[in-house]
Amino acid sequence: MMTRYLLGLAALLMLLSLAQSASAETEAMVWNRYGLPMRINGELVEKVPAPASLGSTVCVGEQVHYLTPERRLVFNGWSGGGVEPCILVSAAGNYEAFYVEELLVVVDSSYQPLRRSFWARKGESILLEVQKEYVEEGYRYVFERWSKGENPFDTVNNIVVLEPLYIEAKFRKEVRLQVVSLPGILVNGTGWYSEGEVTVISAPREIRVSESERLLFREWVSIGRHPAVIYNTPSSVTTIEVRGPHIIKAEYDRYFLVNAMGPQGVILSGWFREGEVLQISAPILIEIIPDSVRLAFKGWSGDLSHRTNTLSIVLERPLNINAAYVTEYRVEVRSPVGGSGAGWYEENATAIIRVPAEVQALLFTKRALQRFSGDCGDFCLSRGPLILKVDSPKTVEAVYALEPDLPSIGAAGSTAAALSAVYFFSSRRTRIKAKDYQKSPPVQHAA
């Protein structure tokens, strides 16, 4: 500073000396206190102060002159009041080109949009201002302090520029971690974290939606643009190192309660995952009393209606189903000559039993139906078709008796008489032919 002052003083003394010794033709002197070159009528003048005649055009040699990369002199106008870089010398006197010294101010920050540089006049008081925080694309920058200035811990800071200035707005950089899941499920871990920080994330292991529906935690999945490293994905409570704006989702499987019941109790019961294919099968027949009483499958009832005993189901909802059966009773028909109507009948069904009324037995005898015996009650004396209500196992026996077969006997007698007559007439004819043969002469044959 002292050096510039001495140089300026020396230039002023020289100007005064030259002004006193100038010839009558010299009407004005042009100069600047920094000794920068100037142009008079287009000619570059390296040494100033320099004389200029009336009517001359005088211009500054440089509007901006860099002393160092961080210091510069900027033309600021003429002593006569003009601000243009060139003036016309119209009267005798001194014409000084004024310059101001500017210093480079660099503002640095970890939040890049705040980084900038500008020139400030030496001695100027500048105001620097930032926000408390900036958020963009999953990153947050939280203001902490300025590296220098009157108010280093305030977002608004004043500082006087006396030298080239480097000042830093210091921010704490944080990243956003989002922990999400299905609607209505509360998960923990969402927040802002320092880069590289390890934190715990958690989700419920099981959620009861209703008495017949629940959700079971399956795994953690990174779904954001910035993949995350999850240390133990199948655990509902785990840790994660936050290295970027991560989105972590808690995945759940939905389970439904399935109950399939039958007469003998549980066919299938338990929790099964949504979309799973279930094979449910009920026996076609259930024997209660061997060869007497049984249950026969008729269909499924409840949340499903189906006629086949085996189901293949893609599970989409809770299921309560029952295998429906009917009771069947065995009807047995015993008959020495055969019959119809035996078999299995549903409870309270009607069985019609038919047997032959009579059947030929031995020669000149027959079997004649007398009655029925067994589980036929008041209908046992029936000789026609036996009609029974099947309300229990039934055994019915047809009772037959041997009787003379009169039509057969009559037919046999007629046949015998006919045979006797045939025999009589045949024998008589034979005797007559024998007598005639004896009366006839012998036949002579030619030699």
What local confidence, expressed as pLDDT, does residue 81 receive? 86
Same-domain pairing of 37 and 67: yes
Q: Are the C-beta atoms of residues 229 and 236 closer than 8 Å to each other?
A: no
Per DSSP, the three-state class of 115 is coil
Q: Does residue 438 lie within any of the structural domains?
A: no
The number of beta carbons lying within 10 Å of the beta carbon of residue 47 is 10
Q: Which of 203, 218, 253 is the last residue of a domain?
A: 253
Q: Does residue 419 lie within any of the structural domains?
A: no
Same-domain pairing of 318 and 378: no
Q: Record the tokens describing residue 73, joined without a space.
A: 């002199």
d(CA 262, CA 302): 12
Same-domain pairing of 156 and 245: no
Q: Does residue 445 lie within any of the structural domains?
A: no
Same-domain pairing of 156 and 218: no
Residues pairing with 213 in the sheet: 210, 256
Q: Record the tokens describing residue 419, joined without a space.
A: 């045979």
Q: Does residue 180 lie within any of the structural domains?
A: no
Segment 122-134, tens digit of pLDDT? 999 999 999 999 9
Q: Using alpha carbons, list the distances in angstroms from residue 60 to 50, 85, 339.
A: 12, 6, 141
Residues pairing with 214 in the sheet: 208, 255
Per DSSP, the three-state class of 258 is strand
Same-domain pairing of 7 and 97: yes
Same-domain pairing of 203 and 119: no
Q: Which residues of 329-355 are buried (b: 16+ CB within 10 A; e: fewer)?
A: bbbbbebeeebebbebbeeeeebebeb
Q: Which of 328, 343, 376 is the last residue of a domain?
A: 328
Segment 207-240, tens digit of pLDDT? 999 999 999 999 999 998 899 999 899 999 999 9
pTM: 0.64
Q: Which of 103, 135, 160 is the last residue of a domain?
A: 103
What is the tally of structural domains in the chain?
A: 5
β-strand pairing of 38-40 with 57-60: antiparallel
Same-domain pairing of 383 and 318: no
Q: Does residue 168 lie within any of the structural domains?
A: yes
Q: Does residue 44 lie within any of the structural domains?
A: yes
d(CA 38, CA 51): 11
Same-domain pairing of 164 and 209: no
d(CA 273, CA 204): 18
What local confidence, expressed as pLDDT, does residue 401 receive? 87
What local confidence, expressed as pLDDT, does residue 440 receive? 45
d(CA 198, CA 240): 6
Amino acid at 223: I
Range of the domain at 249: 185-253
Same-domain pairing of 85 and 20: yes
Same-domain pairing of 167 and 128: yes
Low-confidence residues of the chain: pLDDT under 70: 1-26, 406-447
What local confidence, expressed as pLDDT, does residue 15 receive? 47
Q: Does residue 429 lie within any of the structural domains?
A: no
Q: Does residue 364 lie within any of the structural domains?
A: yes
What local confidence, expressed as pLDDT, does residue 2 receive? 41
- Which residue's entry shows tokens 């004024």? 98
β strands within 290-336, DSSP E:
293-302, 310-314, 319-334
Same-domain pairing of 19 and 89: yes
Same-domain pairing of 95 and 108: no
